[in-house]
Structure 1
Amino acid sequence: MTPDYLPFHPDPKKPDYVPPRGAVDAHCHVFGPAKTFPFAPERKYTPCDASKEQLFALRDFLGFSRNVIVQASCHGKNNDALLDALRTAGDKARGIAVVGPDITEAELQEMHDAGVRGVRFNFLKRLVDDTPKDVFRKIVDKIKPLGWHVIVYFEAEDLLELKPFLTSLPVTVVVDHMGRADVSKGIGDPSFQAFVSLLRDHENFWTKVSCPERLSVKGVPYDDVIPFANYLVEQFPHRVLWGTDWPHPNMKSHMPDDGFLTDIIPMIAPSEKQQQMLLVENPDRLYWAD
């Protein structure tokens, strides 16, 4: 493990909130175990093992029915751990892979059969090396026939530079973690409103209202983040997703309690209808439609 890496919470609370039947944790990861699924040589960090068994046990403990498992940068473009978890879970999980432009149709079809429904493009320079946009375009051309979508992860200050590229993509685009909004500046901040405009002007854009622990300036109970997530749920009820981000890679300040994170859901989506859409209907449409 990287020396300052924080392992996931060993004993999360049982949530007071009970998710609706069919609820999806739409953003989580599996790491290793390294002895079986080695980490990528080019990785920027080495995490603790976080196995499929531990993820599925957490899913059940928190009261969720299904997962969307996202390939993380520590495994690079080797999706073996992800595919192994998907095959074990069957219809209880779907996946997001990381691939290169040389991926073949046969390899993509094998991933699709295992439950992969999209690819992730990571633009955080502290986590991945810079990639030319043409490489991403070649990947999109290959995944589009499968009906897959793209997950994008970027810093808020990079949106202006990325917007022309992102809006040119002919597929659904899901933005991780509210575009990493700077919550210290308030909802009216021009940079956050630029992100809101992106969603409003482009109906193929979705966002995850997740990771208050990463965005908060004040820390637990993340009161400074809740208004941003609630605003997006209110404005775009059909295009929001939620996830734990377990096992919370590269958290430096503290390790969040996943039970507490689950209890935040009714604060960001107060009505039963909003919760049903956020946790069941929206992920159903994006990941289980076929």
Structure 2
Amino acid sequence: MSNVELENARWDCHTHIYGPWHDFPLPADAVYRPAAAPMSSLLDVHRKLGISRGVLVQAACYGSDHSALLDAIARTGGRYRGVALLDGSESDDQLRALHEGGVRGIRFNFMGHLAAEVDLDRLRTQAERVGKLGWHVLLHGRLAQVLPVLDAWRALETLLVVDHMGRPDGVDSSESAQRELLWDLHAHLQDQRRWIKLSGVDRMMSPSARPWQEAEPLVRDLLAAAPERAIWGSDWPHPNIQGDVPDDAKLLEFIESVCGGPEAAHDVLVRNPLRLYG
């Protein structure tokens, strides 16, 4: 792709890959065992959606073995970037190798089925360290789990991205307790170092049968809080999801509807991720 094409390409900022197993098998102690979903399949999905840039988030089942992720990025000639899972023991040389391989962030998991014992001081040290490389940190958890981290790290210079919108409950979005959490999130998003990923509406509305459109006001409100720092991801191939696997084309249509027009959609799908991932 030419530089002009790269600068105007649409991004999917949240995907995972699994396999092919003969090249990238799972470890014996994998925390879950998904169906194979190799990079070739993701590229087919993205071609159909008109997406030519993306972000591979290291799958928890691979732990700190980034072989599949780095191989996939290399095969795209750098059009895709990566988000790593680190344990804090990595040497400077190992971090530089990840950076040269296209990694631009790390992910901290606070969800019950993924989180280890949380040590915010240790995680902050990791966040500060990768921030010096120009990386960001994805904070994955529910609002009640993520907001205390944002509070504790108000002075942290490293960019923080709230993953999947903080996993709000779309069914109970009118409940006063959740409204207060969302107001707190809005306050944090006034900080130019804090970003929001407008992904996971399918998980937000699950397991109810209510249409995603009912979540549009909530998602549009989060977009309005940080329009120049909002990105989108499909979460392909939708690991560990309850209910039916969502249609990725419908997820893209949803975020375009939330944006309400081509200029805002261009920000979320093109300009903002280009600024964050390069």
Task: Indicate whether the TM-score tops 0.5.
Answer: yes
| Pairing 1:203-222 to 2, within 5 Å after superposition | 203-217=192-206, 218-219=208-209, 221-222=211-212
> Gaps spanning 5+ residues in structure 2: where?
1-6
Do residues 171 (structure 1) and 161 (structure 2) align? no
CA contact (8 A) 2:189 2:225 kept: no
2:240 to 250, 258, 261: 250
CA-CA distance at 1:38 after TM superposition: 2.4
Cross-structure match for 2:251: 261
CA-CA distance at 1:160 after TM superposition: 4.2
CA distance in 2, matches of 1:161, 1:234: 22
CA distance 1:107–1:63, shift in 2 (3 Å): same
CA distance 1:121–1:235, shift in 2 (3 Å): same
CA contact (8 A) 2:128 2:158 kept: no
CA distance in 2, matches of 1:64, 1:220: 28
| Pairing 1:59-98 to 2, within 5 Å after superposition | 59-98=46-85
CA-CA distance at 1:232 after TM superposition: 1.7
Which is further off, 24-33 or 124-133?
124-133
1:129 to 107, 116, 134: 116
CA-CA distance at 1:233 after TM superposition: 1.8
CA distance in 1, matches of 2:46, 2:265: 17
> Gaps spanning 5+ residues in structure 1: where?
1-19
What is the aligned length?
A: 268
RMSD: 1.9
Cross-structure match for 2:3: none
CA-CA distance at 1:96 after TM superposition: 0.6
Cross-structure match for 2:4: none
Secondary structure of 1:185's aligned partner: coil
Q: Which has the higher contact order (CA 8 A, sep 6+)?
A: 1
Residues 167-211 of structure 1: CA deviation (Å, up to 9, x unaligned): 3432000011111112233367112222112212x2211011111
CA contact (8 A) 2:147 2:185 kept: no
CA contact (8 A) 1:43 1:75 kept: yes
Cross-structure match for 1:239: 229
CA distance in 1, matches of 2:193, 2:225: 15
CA distance 1:128–1:158, shift in 2 (3 Å): closer
Cross-structure match for 1:8: none
Cross-structure match for 1:145: 132
CA-CA distance at 1:73 after TM superposition: 1.0
TM-score computed with the length of structure 2 as normaliser: 0.90
CA distance 1:36–1:220, shift in 2 (3 Å): farther
Which is further off, 147-156 or 129-138?
129-138
Identity, in percent, stands at 33
Cross-structure match for 2:272: 282
Cross-structure match for 2:141: 154
Partner amino acid for 1:192? L
TM-score computed with the length of structure 1 as normaliser: 0.86
CA distance in 2, matches of 1:160, 1:145: 23
2:26 to 34, 39, 43: 39
CA distance in 2, matches of 1:134, 1:274: 37
CA contact (8 A) 2:110 2:146 kept: no
1:225 to 215, 221, 225: 215
Partner amino acid for 2:180? P
CA-CA distance at 1:41 after TM superposition: 4.1
Secondary structure of 1:152's aligned partner: strand
CA-CA distance at 1:153 after TM superposition: 0.1
CA-CA distance at 1:219 after TM superposition: 3.6
CA distance in 1, matches of 2:72, 2:276: 19
